[in-house]
Amino acid sequence: MIDVLEYLAAHARRVDEALEEFLSSYEGVPEGLHEAMHYSLFPGGKRLRPALALGACEAVGGAPDMALAAACALEMIHTYSLVHDDLPCMDNDAIRRGLPTVHRKYGEAAAVLVGDGLQAMAFEMLTHVRNTSVARDIAQASGPGGMVGGQYLDVETEGTKIPLELVRRLHRLKTGALIRVGARAGAKLGKGTPAQVSALTQYGEHLGLAFQIVDDILDESGDDDVMGKRTGKDRARNKSTYPSLVGLAEARRLADEAKDRALHALAAFGLQADPLRALAEYVVSRRR
Protein backbone atom coordinates (compact mmCIF):
# COMPACT_ATOMS: atom_id res chain seq x y z
CA MET A 1 0.00 0.00 0.00
CA ILE A 2 1.32 3.45 -0.96
CA ASP A 3 1.42 6.13 1.72
CA VAL A 4 0.11 8.87 -0.52
CA LEU A 5 0.95 11.73 1.82
CA GLU A 6 4.53 10.50 2.04
CA TYR A 7 4.59 10.09 -1.74
CA LEU A 8 3.34 13.63 -2.26
CA ALA A 9 5.76 14.97 0.33
CA ALA A 10 8.75 13.22 -1.27
CA HIS A 11 7.91 14.56 -4.73
CA ALA A 12 7.14 17.99 -3.29
CA ARG A 13 10.61 18.10 -1.70
CA ARG A 14 12.22 17.21 -5.00
CA VAL A 15 10.23 19.89 -6.83
CA ASP A 16 10.81 22.47 -4.10
CA GLU A 17 14.55 21.91 -4.27
CA ALA A 18 14.59 22.31 -8.04
CA LEU A 19 12.41 25.42 -7.89
CA GLU A 20 14.51 26.90 -5.12
CA GLU A 21 17.68 26.30 -7.09
CA PHE A 22 16.24 27.74 -10.30
CA LEU A 23 14.98 30.84 -8.52
CA SER A 24 18.09 31.45 -6.43
CA SER A 25 20.45 31.11 -9.39
CA TYR A 26 18.28 33.35 -11.55
CA GLU A 27 20.15 36.58 -12.21
CA GLY A 28 19.17 40.16 -12.75
CA VAL A 29 15.82 40.12 -10.94
CA PRO A 30 15.12 43.26 -8.85
CA GLU A 31 15.34 42.35 -5.17
CA GLY A 32 11.76 43.14 -4.18
CA LEU A 33 10.36 41.21 -7.13
CA HIS A 34 12.57 38.25 -6.34
CA GLU A 35 11.32 38.22 -2.75
CA ALA A 36 7.68 38.42 -3.82
CA MET A 37 8.13 35.60 -6.33
CA HIS A 38 9.74 33.46 -3.67
CA TYR A 39 6.90 34.26 -1.29
CA SER A 40 4.36 33.14 -3.88
CA LEU A 41 6.09 29.79 -4.40
CA PHE A 42 7.10 28.85 -0.85
CA PRO A 43 5.79 27.20 1.20
CA GLY A 44 3.79 25.52 -1.51
CA GLY A 45 0.52 23.66 -1.46
CA LYS A 46 0.08 19.99 -2.25
CA ARG A 47 2.24 20.25 -5.39
CA LEU A 48 -0.31 17.96 -7.01
CA ARG A 49 0.45 18.84 -10.63
CA PRO A 50 4.18 18.13 -10.31
CA ALA A 51 3.40 14.88 -8.49
CA LEU A 52 1.18 13.82 -11.38
CA ALA A 53 3.90 14.60 -13.90
CA LEU A 54 6.52 12.68 -11.92
CA GLY A 55 4.06 9.85 -11.18
CA ALA A 56 3.06 9.46 -14.83
CA CYS A 57 6.70 9.45 -15.82
CA GLU A 58 7.35 6.62 -13.37
CA ALA A 59 4.22 4.78 -14.50
CA VAL A 60 5.70 4.36 -17.99
CA GLY A 61 9.05 3.29 -16.57
CA GLY A 62 10.86 6.62 -16.72
CA ALA A 63 13.09 8.05 -14.02
CA PRO A 64 11.27 10.90 -12.26
CA ASP A 65 14.06 13.37 -13.10
CA MET A 66 13.12 13.11 -16.76
CA ALA A 67 9.95 15.04 -15.91
CA LEU A 68 11.36 17.33 -13.21
CA ALA A 69 11.74 20.50 -15.28
CA ALA A 70 8.22 20.15 -16.69
CA ALA A 71 6.91 19.46 -13.17
CA CYS A 72 8.50 22.70 -11.94
CA ALA A 73 7.13 24.63 -14.89
CA LEU A 74 3.63 23.35 -14.15
CA GLU A 75 3.90 24.44 -10.55
CA MET A 76 5.09 27.92 -11.57
CA ILE A 77 2.15 28.23 -13.96
CA HIS A 78 -0.28 27.00 -11.31
CA THR A 79 1.18 29.47 -8.80
CA TYR A 80 0.98 32.41 -11.20
CA SER A 81 -2.69 31.59 -11.83
CA LEU A 82 -3.41 31.61 -8.10
CA VAL A 83 -1.65 34.97 -7.65
CA HIS A 84 -3.69 36.52 -10.46
CA ASP A 85 -6.96 34.81 -9.40
CA ASP A 86 -6.56 36.29 -5.92
CA LEU A 87 -6.35 39.88 -7.25
CA PRO A 88 -9.05 42.34 -6.19
CA CYS A 89 -10.41 42.52 -9.76
CA MET A 90 -10.74 38.73 -9.80
CA ASP A 91 -11.63 36.72 -6.65
CA ASN A 92 -10.31 39.35 -4.23
CA ASP A 93 -8.91 36.86 -1.73
CA ALA A 94 -6.90 37.88 1.30
CA ILE A 95 -5.59 34.49 2.41
CA ARG A 96 -3.88 31.72 0.48
CA ARG A 97 -2.18 28.68 1.98
CA GLY A 98 -2.79 30.25 5.41
CA LEU A 99 -0.86 33.45 4.60
CA PRO A 100 -1.71 36.86 3.14
CA THR A 101 -2.10 36.72 -0.62
CA VAL A 102 0.68 38.26 -2.71
CA HIS A 103 -1.21 41.47 -3.47
CA ARG A 104 -2.10 41.91 0.20
CA LYS A 105 1.53 41.62 1.15
CA TYR A 106 3.30 43.31 -1.77
CA GLY A 107 0.60 45.34 -3.51
CA GLU A 108 -1.46 44.75 -6.61
CA ALA A 109 1.10 45.92 -9.18
CA ALA A 110 3.71 43.57 -7.75
CA ALA A 111 1.20 40.71 -7.75
CA VAL A 112 0.44 41.23 -11.45
CA LEU A 113 4.19 41.23 -12.16
CA VAL A 114 4.92 38.21 -9.96
CA GLY A 115 2.38 36.26 -12.01
CA ASP A 116 3.72 37.54 -15.32
CA GLY A 117 7.26 36.74 -14.27
CA LEU A 118 6.42 33.23 -13.08
CA GLN A 119 4.79 32.44 -16.39
CA ALA A 120 7.87 33.60 -18.32
CA MET A 121 10.15 31.58 -16.03
CA ALA A 122 7.99 28.49 -16.50
CA PHE A 123 8.37 28.69 -20.27
CA GLU A 124 12.05 29.39 -19.91
CA MET A 125 12.34 26.19 -17.87
CA LEU A 126 10.46 24.33 -20.59
CA THR A 127 13.12 25.28 -23.13
CA HIS A 128 15.37 22.93 -21.17
CA VAL A 129 12.98 20.07 -21.87
CA ARG A 130 14.07 18.35 -25.06
CA ASN A 131 10.53 17.77 -26.27
CA THR A 132 8.78 20.73 -27.83
CA SER A 133 5.47 18.86 -27.96
CA VAL A 134 5.42 18.92 -24.15
CA ALA A 135 6.04 22.67 -24.07
CA ARG A 136 3.30 23.12 -26.67
CA ASP A 137 0.84 20.95 -24.70
CA ILE A 138 1.55 22.99 -21.57
CA ALA A 139 1.22 26.32 -23.39
CA GLN A 140 -2.13 25.20 -24.80
CA ALA A 141 -3.38 23.83 -21.49
CA SER A 142 -2.51 27.01 -19.64
CA GLY A 143 -3.55 29.51 -22.32
CA PRO A 144 -6.83 31.01 -23.53
CA GLY A 145 -8.06 27.62 -24.78
CA GLY A 146 -7.29 26.13 -21.34
CA MET A 147 -6.72 27.52 -17.87
CA VAL A 148 -6.94 31.22 -18.79
CA GLY A 149 -10.12 30.55 -20.77
CA GLY A 150 -11.66 28.75 -17.80
CA GLN A 151 -10.83 31.61 -15.50
CA TYR A 152 -12.44 33.97 -18.00
CA LEU A 153 -15.66 31.90 -17.99
CA ASP A 154 -15.55 31.85 -14.21
CA VAL A 155 -15.37 35.65 -14.03
CA GLU A 156 -17.93 36.10 -16.79
CA THR A 157 -20.54 33.86 -15.19
CA GLU A 158 -20.03 34.92 -11.59
CA GLY A 159 -23.26 35.61 -9.76
CA THR A 160 -25.40 34.00 -12.45
CA LYS A 161 -26.87 30.53 -12.26
CA ILE A 162 -25.40 28.45 -15.05
CA PRO A 163 -26.25 24.90 -16.19
CA LEU A 164 -24.16 21.92 -15.09
CA GLU A 165 -22.85 21.52 -18.62
CA LEU A 166 -21.23 24.96 -18.52
CA VAL A 167 -19.89 24.35 -15.00
CA ARG A 168 -18.32 21.19 -16.39
CA ARG A 169 -16.73 23.07 -19.31
CA LEU A 170 -15.49 25.81 -17.02
CA HIS A 171 -13.88 23.29 -14.68
CA ARG A 172 -12.38 21.31 -17.52
CA LEU A 173 -10.61 24.46 -18.66
CA LYS A 174 -9.84 26.20 -15.39
CA THR A 175 -8.37 23.34 -13.38
CA GLY A 176 -8.79 20.26 -15.54
CA ALA A 177 -6.51 21.29 -18.38
CA LEU A 178 -3.41 21.76 -16.25
CA ILE A 179 -3.97 18.57 -14.23
CA ARG A 180 -4.55 16.60 -17.42
CA VAL A 181 -1.42 17.98 -19.06
CA GLY A 182 0.60 17.14 -15.96
CA ALA A 183 -0.09 13.44 -16.41
CA ARG A 184 0.29 13.71 -20.19
CA ALA A 185 3.63 15.52 -19.99
CA GLY A 186 5.00 12.98 -17.52
CA ALA A 187 3.97 10.12 -19.80
CA LYS A 188 5.65 11.71 -22.81
CA LEU A 189 8.83 12.62 -20.96
CA GLY A 190 9.10 9.12 -19.48
CA LYS A 191 9.05 7.90 -23.08
CA GLY A 192 5.69 6.15 -22.85
CA THR A 193 4.16 4.56 -25.93
CA PRO A 194 1.40 6.51 -27.72
CA ALA A 195 -1.16 4.19 -26.10
CA GLN A 196 0.32 4.90 -22.67
CA VAL A 197 0.37 8.64 -23.28
CA SER A 198 -3.26 8.46 -24.35
CA ALA A 199 -4.27 6.37 -21.31
CA LEU A 200 -2.50 8.70 -18.88
CA THR A 201 -4.08 11.72 -20.57
CA GLN A 202 -7.47 10.08 -19.94
CA TYR A 203 -6.45 9.43 -16.34
CA GLY A 204 -5.56 13.11 -15.95
CA GLU A 205 -8.82 14.19 -17.56
CA HIS A 206 -10.96 12.23 -15.11
CA LEU A 207 -8.76 13.05 -12.15
CA GLY A 208 -9.08 16.75 -12.92
CA LEU A 209 -12.85 16.50 -12.85
CA ALA A 210 -12.81 14.56 -9.58
CA PHE A 211 -10.44 17.12 -8.09
CA GLN A 212 -12.63 20.06 -9.01
CA ILE A 213 -15.88 18.50 -7.78
CA VAL A 214 -14.19 17.79 -4.44
CA ASP A 215 -12.88 21.37 -4.41
CA ASP A 216 -16.46 22.58 -4.75
CA ILE A 217 -17.57 20.22 -1.97
CA LEU A 218 -14.78 21.37 0.36
CA ASP A 219 -15.61 25.00 -0.29
CA GLU A 220 -19.18 24.19 0.73
CA SER A 221 -18.40 22.05 3.76
CA GLY A 222 -14.69 22.50 4.57
CA ASP A 223 -13.00 24.22 7.46
CA ASP A 224 -11.08 27.49 6.88
CA ASP A 225 -8.27 26.48 9.21
CA VAL A 226 -7.79 23.12 7.56
CA MET A 227 -8.07 24.55 4.06
CA GLY A 228 -5.73 27.50 4.66
CA LYS A 229 -8.09 29.77 2.76
CA ARG A 230 -11.57 31.17 3.14
CA THR A 231 -14.32 28.62 2.46
CA GLY A 232 -18.00 29.14 1.72
CA LYS A 233 -17.11 31.85 -0.77
CA ASP A 234 -18.73 30.08 -3.73
CA ARG A 235 -22.07 30.21 -1.98
CA ALA A 236 -21.51 33.79 -0.83
CA ARG A 237 -20.89 34.72 -4.46
CA ASN A 238 -23.86 32.76 -5.71
CA LYS A 239 -21.52 30.65 -7.78
CA SER A 240 -22.91 27.65 -9.61
CA THR A 241 -21.02 24.63 -8.29
CA TYR A 242 -21.57 20.90 -8.34
CA PRO A 243 -23.06 20.87 -4.81
CA SER A 244 -25.26 23.88 -5.51
CA LEU A 245 -26.60 22.35 -8.72
CA VAL A 246 -26.97 18.66 -7.85
CA GLY A 247 -26.67 18.55 -4.06
CA LEU A 248 -23.80 17.32 -1.88
CA ALA A 249 -24.63 13.60 -2.10
CA GLU A 250 -24.84 13.55 -5.90
CA ALA A 251 -21.70 15.70 -6.17
CA ARG A 252 -19.88 13.18 -4.02
CA ARG A 253 -21.17 10.35 -6.25
CA LEU A 254 -19.97 12.17 -9.39
CA ALA A 255 -16.54 12.68 -7.85
CA ASP A 256 -16.31 8.96 -7.06
CA GLU A 257 -17.43 8.12 -10.58
CA ALA A 258 -14.73 10.34 -12.07
CA LYS A 259 -12.17 8.73 -9.76
CA ASP A 260 -13.28 5.26 -10.90
CA ARG A 261 -12.84 6.33 -14.50
CA ALA A 262 -9.38 7.63 -13.72
CA LEU A 263 -8.51 4.26 -12.17
CA HIS A 264 -10.00 2.44 -15.15
CA ALA A 265 -7.71 4.38 -17.48
CA LEU A 266 -4.79 2.81 -15.58
CA ALA A 267 -6.06 -0.76 -16.14
CA ALA A 268 -3.24 -1.71 -18.51
CA PHE A 269 -0.54 -0.49 -16.10
CA GLY A 270 1.20 -2.61 -13.50
CA LEU A 271 2.50 -1.79 -10.06
CA GLN A 272 4.44 1.20 -11.38
CA ALA A 273 1.13 3.07 -11.60
CA ASP A 274 0.21 2.39 -7.96
CA PRO A 275 1.23 5.92 -6.88
CA LEU A 276 -1.17 7.35 -9.47
CA ARG A 277 -3.91 5.05 -8.17
CA ALA A 278 -3.24 6.21 -4.64
CA LEU A 279 -3.31 9.84 -5.83
CA ALA A 280 -6.75 9.27 -7.34
CA GLU A 281 -8.07 7.88 -4.06
CA TYR A 282 -6.44 10.77 -2.22
CA VAL A 283 -8.00 13.39 -4.47
CA VAL A 284 -11.53 12.31 -3.55
CA SER A 285 -10.88 11.57 0.13
CA ARG A 286 -8.80 14.67 0.98
CA ARG A 287 -10.00 17.14 3.58
CA ARG A 288 -8.12 20.12 2.08
163 in contact with its own copies (CB under 8 A)? no
User: Under 8 Å CB-to-CB from 25, ≥6 apart: which residues?
Assistant: none
Instruction: Kindly identify the residues of this chain, within the stretch 141-160, that bind its own copies according to CB under 8 A.
Output: 142-146, 148-149, 151-153, 155-156
> How far, in Å, CA of 62 to CA of 149, rounded?
32
For its own copies, which residue of 9, 99, 123, 252 counts as binding (CB under 8 A)?
A: 123
Report the phi/psi class of residue 100: left, alpha or beta, with left for phi > 0 and alpha for psi in -120 to 50: beta
- Number of residues lying near its own copies (CB under 8 A): 51
For its own copies, which residue of 9, 10, 29, 95 counts as binding (CB under 8 A)?
A: 29
Instruction: Kindly identify the residues of this chain, within the stretch 201-240, that bind its own copies according to CB under 8 A.
Output: none
Smallest distance, its own copies to C-beta of residue 120, A: 3
Report the phi/psi class of residue 47: left, alpha or beta, with left for phi > 0 and alpha for psi in -120 to 50: left
> Three-class SS of residue 264?
helix
Beta-ladder partners of 100: 95
146 versus 243: smaller Cβ distance to its own copies:
146
Looking at 13-21, 41-49, 64-72, 133-141, which segment touches its own copies (CB under 8 A)? 133-141
> Is 242:213 a contact under the CB 8 Å cutoff?
yes
Smallest distance, its own copies to C-beta of residue 127, A: 4
96 versus 259: smaller Cβ distance to its own copies:
96
> How far, in Å, CA of 240 to CA of 49, rounded?
25
For its own copies, which residue of 30, 159, 194, 270 counts as binding (CB under 8 A)?
A: 30
Smallest distance, its own copies to C-beta of residue 87, A: 7
> How far, in Å, CA of 103 to CA of 94, rounded?
8
Looking at 134-142, 196-204, 217-225, 254-262, which segment touches its own copies (CB under 8 A)? 134-142
For its own copies, which residue of 9, 10, 20, 34 counts as binding (CB under 8 A)?
A: 34
Please report which residue ranges of 29-67 form alpha helices under DSSP H: 31-41, 48-59
Please report which residue ranges of the chain form alpha helices under DSSP H: 4-24, 31-41, 48-59, 68-85, 102-106, 108-126, 132-142, 147-157, 164-171, 177-189, 194-221, 224-227, 233-236, 242-246, 248-265, 274-285
41 in contact with its own copies (CB under 8 A)? no
Q: For residue 96, what is the DSSP state?
A: E
Contact flags string 73-112 toward its own copies, x per CB under 8 A: -------xx--x--x-xx----------------xxxx-x
> How far, in Å, CA of 270 to CA of 150, rounded?
34
Instruction: Kindly identify the residues of this chain, within the stretch 168-207, that bind its own copies according to CB under 8 A.
Output: 173
Binding positions for its own copies, rule: CB under 8 A? 26-30, 32-34, 37, 80-81, 84, 87, 89-90, 107-110, 112-113, 115-117, 119-121, 123-124, 126-128, 132-133, 135-136, 139-140, 142-146, 148-149, 151-153, 155-156, 173
